[in-house]
Each structure stands twice: as structure tokens, then as C-alpha cells.
Structure 1
Amino acid sequence: MHKQNQKLSIGQVLACGGLIVTLSMGIRHGFGLWLQPMTQAMDWTRQDFALAIAVQNLVWGFTGIFAGMLADRFGAFKVIVGCAVLYALGLVGMAYSATPLVFAITAGVLIGMAQSGTTYAVIYGVIGRNVDGSRRSWAMGIAAAAGSFGQFLMVPTEGWLISQFGWQQALVLLGMAALLIVPLARGLREPGFAGGALLKREQTIGQALREAFSYPSFQLLMAGYFVCGFQVVFIGVHLPSYLKDQGLSPQVASYALALVGLFNVIGTYAAGSLGQRLPKKNILAFIYFARSVVITVFLLAPLSPMSVYLFSAVMGMLWLSTVPPTTAVVAQIFGVAHLSMLGGFVFFSHQIGSFMGVWLGGYLYDRLGSYDIVWLLTIALGVLAGLVNLPVRENAIQRAAPQGA
């Protein structure tokens, strides 16, 4: 039993977890750079490409639930290693996909499964189990900032790889880079899960799910996270093509996405730190309202490289800054025993929104020749998400008595 009470050091968890998220999130944030070279080379439509990325987001969210269950029960290490291998296979498969269907399987299904075990739900489960509640929101902000730094670091790198080696070889090189996650996962091997041992819990999985889904605040958090996914994935995937359609160079898009990542380092860290002192629901409401304002100003202002960079910087402050307060609220309400799983369900809602954002972007562009309607949807949904977060209750749920496992 004494091993179950041991915890990893905060530094070790944040260093290894942060680097894993840096690689995993950094690689995926650059997929929009492949939209035009791949569709032109393969004679596909933008909808073909967008559908595969939409499938990726949906699979990521759905399989994240089960990755979270496995990580909660057997520890994160095995889950991360398996998903890192899937990441490498998916990236190499993307490079040699001959049809939209094969591309949907490699870029969509394989990479979606890979991301479920190498990103926030599983990493945050480790943080929740090894960092005291008084510092948990801050620690989650650090991990989210690492993902943002990955975007700043990897998007220009991916743009450079495409320009130097071509889009196909660039994907193969990224597949090799994804395998670096395997040695990093060793730093997240938790003593309490040695040999697959299950830590003692007050609830079974079924009891935890019934409790969460009957709690209104959990439902509101899921609704807000749906909007988050819709907004950021639509912008992340379609902004490069939108800017090129408006006559701006591809380099502007690369720098824009890099700026989103750079400024989101500040935004996510600030959101995590503020979550220790302010109501997290108010932080979330502010972020969603602010996104709608920023997008509105961007669409109304004259378009230029400078306006794009300003939009990217401000939007970057709001980009993944929803992640630390959302997950910290879930931990605060329900505890950490099933945090990866419950976080996986909330994230699944995010990914349904991601599916809708990226797919609608491609579908409506192919039908109407512009992204105008989807931009307007992102504004309206941001206002809605701000409103639904305001009634969230953050206090720990009161259980009548311990529930037998």
C-alpha cells in the first residue's frame, strides 16, 4: 500500500507531461498547412481534407473517454506509449494516402486515437493525482502553456519542412519526431499503478458517470467546451486558406498560427494562475465573450498582414486558456479518482464541436465559395458559451456516503 501513497515530483510531472503535450499538440496544430498542397497534388476538394480532420477530432474525443478510463485504472504510461506509436503510424500513413478514404483512416482515425492518449485528458489525470488542489489549476496552466509553446515551435517548423522536403516527406519526418514521446512517457510512470494495480476508489466507473451526467454544472461545462472546439479548430485549419483566398502569402498564415501558439503560452498560464484566486466559471465566460469580440473586430477591420498578426496575438491569449479552468472545475467538483475519464467526456463534447467547425468550414466553402457564414457562427456561439458558463457551481459535490466499489 505504501507505493500507492507515493507521488511523482511536480517538476518531473510538468517537465515530461509538458514536453509530451508540446509534441502532440504542436504537430496537430500545423495540419492546416497541408490543406492546399495536398488537395492540389491529389486533386481533392477542401471538403475531402476537412472531413478527415473532422473525423480526427471526433475520434480523438470519443476514444479519449476510453484512454482516460485506462489511464485512471492502469496508469498513464502504457496509454501514452501505445498512442505515440499510433501517432507515428498515422503521420506516415497520411503521407502515402492515395484516396480520401485512406486519408480519413490515417489522418482521421489513427491520429485521432493517438491524440486521445498523448494530450490533455491523460496528462491532466497524472497532474490531478500528483499535485495538491491548492496548486492544481496553476499546474494545469503550465501543461496547457506547453501545448501552446508546441504550436509556436512546431507550426513554423512544419512550414519549413514542407518548403524544404515537400509535403509528403515532411509528414514522414514528423512521424519520426512523434516517437520521442515514448521515452518521455517513462517520467509519468506512477508508483501507485505498478503492475496495473488499481487504486482504491469510493465509486465505480458507472457511479461516477451517473453522478456527473446528472449534475447540471457538468452539462454546462460540456456545452461551453463544444463551442471552444468549434471555434479553435475552424480557425486553426481554415485560417491559412482564408488568408490565401484574400491574397495574403502562405508565410503570413504560418506566422499567424505561430503567434497564436506564442501568445497562448501567456493566456493559458494566466488562466491557470487566475483559477487559483478567481471563480473559474467567470474566467471561462470572459474568454468566450472576448473571442466573439475579437473575431468581430477582425472581420470588420481592413485585412492586412498586421491586422492578421494582431488578431492572432489577441486570439492566442484566448486560444487554449479554457483548458486549465475547465478541467480544474471538474476536479474541484468530482475529485481526481476518475478525472481522466470525466475530462475525456467533457473533451468529447469539445471534439464534436471541432468536427462541426472544421467540416462546416470545408462544406460551406465548397458550396458558397466563402467562409462568411462560419465566421458568423463562431461569433454567435461564443456569446452562447459565455452565458452557459455563468451558472456553473464550482463547489465540491456532496455525497451522502461513500459508494462501494
Structure 2
Amino acid sequence: MSLSSPASRPLAGNPAALPWLIIAAGSVVALLTFGPRSAMGFFQLPLLQETGWDRTTFGLAMAIQNLCWGLGQPVFGAIADRFGTWRVLLLAGVLYASGLALMSVGEAPVTLYIGGGVLVGLGVGAGSFGIVLSAFARNVAPERRSFAFGIGTAAGSAGMFLFAPLSQALISAYGWSDSLLVLAALMLLVPIVAIPLRGNAGSGSQKQAVYKQSIAEALKEAFGHKSYLLLVSGFFVCGYQVAFITAHFPAYIRDIGIDARYAVMALALIGFFNIIGSLSAGIIGQRYSKPYFLSLIYIGRSIAVSAFLLLPQTPTSVIVFAIVMGLLWLSTVPPTNGLVAIMFGTGHLGLLGGIVFLSHQVGSFLGVWMGGYLYDHFGSYDPVWWIGVGLGLFAALVHWPIEERAVARPVAA
């Protein structure tokens, strides 16, 4: 089997041909929306220490957040496809800011569940990769699309890199509650930055290539396509793995007796090397088989986690693990979104990409919730780590047979 991608071709044309204003605006939006939710783990211990809640309570709130993110993604994607990306991003900023502000109250678990769970989850769902990358796809030619997806994903990674030390510094200086209010204020910048992203599925340079379908027809076609179903099932694993680490890694570092500053360093390094990994994934996915590349990413994650657990755990091993996981962290996003665009085009990309991401967020729900529940039950995070290793091997198997080609459609008369 050839590893070359059927959809690949040389990156022809001048880079200036890319819609840089749209890419820049979408990248800043991705940075802002991905940043705070990736730093939630730093709020866990100070919040629980002040409120007296257990880790299951925090884990459930973050699990609700991930589930609402996933449930909202296809809905917001469909709205953006029809009514325009900017309107959805306006809603994203309002929901996100409201959720962080309510989470800062900390009076009862319900404020954490509704604020940090439901509202932040819906805010991220309305402003995350699926919405931004769909806007890129409508304005970027297919032969450069994977590269553009890599840029947008790398920007989200930069959010993780920047907000990890920023959040920890804010918590140290002002406490966890006031820090959440600062982050809430930053989310109100999203609608302003997003002004260039005003189009819908009927606009953009690729509008002439849109295949006309109703939502029902698009869903019927997608759920009858074997490769799409495999992609949906495999992306579940990505959510499980990254959400567990995001929410519980700072606490895990403390549990194994390593200084808390290494947790900050680790998440910042994941974010930094995630930038490199995401950009590289965009380039690799343009030139080589996306399904095979995804399989190798999941195998790499399972090897990295196994080595981290089995070898002596030291500050050095934490740093090495963070670097390796950073390279593999969101490198799944450009090829996954690229496959959806290749299979079905851009007409309902927000909706169909959102459904794939819903699977990711179901995995995130389980990874975050099980992290708290199994820790409280067994006193250790080890069972959750090893489940993630097994799921990584499963994901490698289901991505391998995916066919990287457009779905067969009747020729227009």
C-alpha cells in the first residue's frame, strides 16, 4: 500500500493566495477559545481546597463541559453553515464569558456544573476548531486545505501554551475566583476578532464546488458511509486521552511527589510542541495518507503513555512525556477534518465535522469523569491511563481501513 495521499498534490501557488485575513482571525479565535478550557486543571486543587468538594465533583463538571461542547458542535456547525460563522462566534464569546463568571462564584456544585460545565462547554462548542476550520475550508482550495487546517489547529495549541502559565500566574496573584473573571473578560474579545469570518456555506471562494443537499440528505449519506463511521468511532479515543490529561495531569503530578511547577511546565510544553505537531500534521496530511498517519499517531500515544508509567517518574520524564505528547496532541485534527472535507465537500462541513467531534467529546466526558471517579474509588489514576493505552491501539486499527476519497454521488444532468 502506498502512503501517498490520493488527495495530495504539490503545494502549488504563492502562499499569498491564501486568505490570510480569514486565517489570522480564525487563528486568534482558536487561541482564545482553546486557552482557558485547556487550563482548567490548574483550578482544580485551589477550588476544591476552598470549597471542600471532592475530585469527582470537579471531574463531573469538566465532563459535562466536554459533553456540552460535543453536543453543541454539530448544532452550531449547522447554524454557521447556514447563517454565518460570525453570528455563532458572537454567541460563543457571550456563553464562554458567562460560564467562567458563574464558575467563579463557587457557592455550590450546581454553579460549577452550569457555569464551568454547560455554559463553558457550549461556548467552546460555538467557538472551537470545527467552526473555524469550516470557515477556512470555504475559502481555501482543496490542495492547500490541510495546511490551512494545520495553522488553525496550531493556533489553538498556542492558546494552551500561553494560558497554562498565564492561568497559574493569575491564580497565584489573585486567587482562582478572580482569575476566572479575568479569563471571562478575555472571551468577550472573540466576537470582535471574528468579524472577518462573516460567511456561510454559500459564500467563499469554494462556493461553486458546494454540492446541494438538505441536512437530512447529508446525514443519510454520511451515516451510510463506512469510512465516515470509522472516523467517528476513532476520534472518540482522541477525546478520552487529551481531556483526561488536561483536567487531571496537574493533580497527578502532585500525587507522584513532583513539584507543582513541573505541571505548569508540562502543560505549557504540550501546548508549545502541539504547535509544531499541528503544523507538521497539516503538511504531512497534504502529502501522505491521512488514515495511515492517524493510525501512527494513536500508536505513538499508547507507546508514550506506557513508557511514562513503566519507567521511573522524575521531573525529567515528565518533561520528555510532555514534549512527545505535545507533538501528538492535536495533530489528529487537521487530517480528521481534512478527511471529512474530502469525503463530503464543504456544504455541510460544520454539521458533519461537528458530529465527528461529538464522538471526540463523548470520549472526553468519559476520560474526565472516570479520572475523578476512579481516583476517588482506587486512590490512583493508573486505571484511567491504561484504559487510554488500550483505546489508542483500538483507534489505530479503525483508522487504517478508512478510504481517503469523495463519496460517490450522481452526476448532475
TM class by shorter chain equals over 0.9
Q: Residues 51 and 106 of structure 2 are in contact (CA less than 8 Å); yes or no, is this contact kept in structure 1? A: no
1:182 alignment partner AA: P
Match of 1:268 in 2: 278
Match of 2:161 in 1: 152
| 1:284 shift after superposition | 0.3
Distance 1:267 1:70, change over 3 A: same
Match of 1:352 in 2: 362
Q: Distance in 2 between matches of 1:175 and 1:332?
A: 36
| 1:192 shift after superposition | 7.5
Equivalent residue of 2:287, what SS?
A: coil
CA offsets per residue over residues 200-223 of structure 1, 9 Å max, x none?
751100000000011011111011
Q: Distance in 1 between matches of 2:247 and 2:339?
A: 29
TM-score, with length taken from structure 2:
0.93
1:332 alignment partner AA: I
Q: Residues 75 and 193 of structure 1 are in contact (CA less than 8 Å); yes or no, is this contact kept in structure 2? A: no
CA offsets per residue over residues 217-258 of structure 1, 9 Å max, x none?
111101110000000001111111111011112211011000
2:248 alignment partner AA: H
Q: Distance in 1 between matches of 2:218 and 2:200?
A: 24
Residue of structure 2 aligned with 1:127, choices 123, 136, 143: 136
Q: Distance in 1 between matches of 2:260 and 2:301?
A: 24
| 1:189 shift after superposition | 1.5
Mapping of residues 159-308 of structure 1, within 5 Å: 159-190=168-199, 201-308=211-318
Q: Residues 82 and 201 of structure 2 are in contact (CA less than 8 Å); yes or no, is this contact kept in structure 1? A: no
CA offsets per residue over residues 284-326 of structure 1, 9 Å max, x none?
0000000000001111111111110100001100000000000
Q: Residues 202 and 402 of structure 1 are in contact (CA less than 8 Å); yes or no, is this contact kept in structure 2? A: no
1:380 alignment partner AA: G
Q: Distance in 2 between matches of 1:191 and 1:252?
A: 43
Aligned length: 393
| 1:190 shift after superposition | 2.4
| 1:97 shift after superposition | 3.0
CA offsets per residue over residues 342-376 of structure 1, 9 Å max, x none?
00000000000000000001000001100111111
**Unpaired runs of 5+ in structure 1?**
1-7
Residue of structure 2 aligned with 1:91, choices 86, 93, 100: 100
Match of 1:24 in 2: 33
| 1:260 shift after superposition | 0.2
Match of 1:336 in 2: 346
Q: Are 1:323 and 2:333 counterparts?
A: yes
Q: Distance in 2 between matches of 1:295 and 1:305?
A: 15
Match of 2:4 in 1: none
2:29 alignment partner AA: I
Equivalent residue of 1:170, what SS?
A: helix
Q: Distance in 1 between matches of 2:412 and 2:219?
A: 15
Higher-helix-fraction structure: 1
Q: Distance in 2 between matches of 1:277 and 1:113?
A: 34
2:51 alignment partner AA: M
Equivalent residue of 1:342, what SS?
A: helix
Q: Distance in 2 between matches of 1:295 and 1:240?
A: 16
Equivalent residue of 1:276, what SS?
A: helix
Q: Distance in 2 between matches of 1:347 and 1:192?
A: 19
| 1:135 shift after superposition | 0.2
Identity within the alignment, %: 44
Q: Distance in 2 between matches of 1:201 and 1:107?
A: 38
Residue of structure 1 aligned with 2:43, choices 25, 34, 44: 34
1:68 alignment partner AA: G
Q: Residues 138 and 201 of structure 2 are in contact (CA less than 8 Å); yes or no, is this contact kept in structure 1? A: no
| 1:27 shift after superposition | 1.1
Mapping of residues 2-13 of structure 1, within 5 Å: 10-13=19-22
| 1:163 shift after superposition | 0.3
Match of 2:3 in 1: none
**Unpaired runs of 5+ in structure 2?**
1-16
1:118 alignment partner AA: G
CA offsets per residue over residues 5-62 of structure 1, 9 Å max, x none?
xxx9620111000000001101110000011111111010100000000000000000
1:398 alignment partner AA: A
Q: Distance in 2 between matches of 1:293 and 1:10?
A: 38
| 1:193 shift after superposition | 6.4
Equivalent residue of 2:347, what SS?
A: coil
Q: Distance in 2 between matches of 1:20 and 1:178?
A: 9
Q: Distance in 2 between matches of 1:135 and 1:96?
A: 45
2:61 alignment partner AA: A
Equivalent residue of 1:186, what SS?
A: coil
Equivalent residue of 1:117, what SS?
A: helix
1:391 alignment partner AA: P
Match of 1:143 in 2: 152
Q: Residues 82 and 200 of structure 2 are in contact (CA less than 8 Å); yes or no, is this contact kept in structure 1? A: no
Residue of structure 2 aligned with 1:58, choices 67, 77, 84: 67
Distance 1:48 1:277, change over 3 A: same
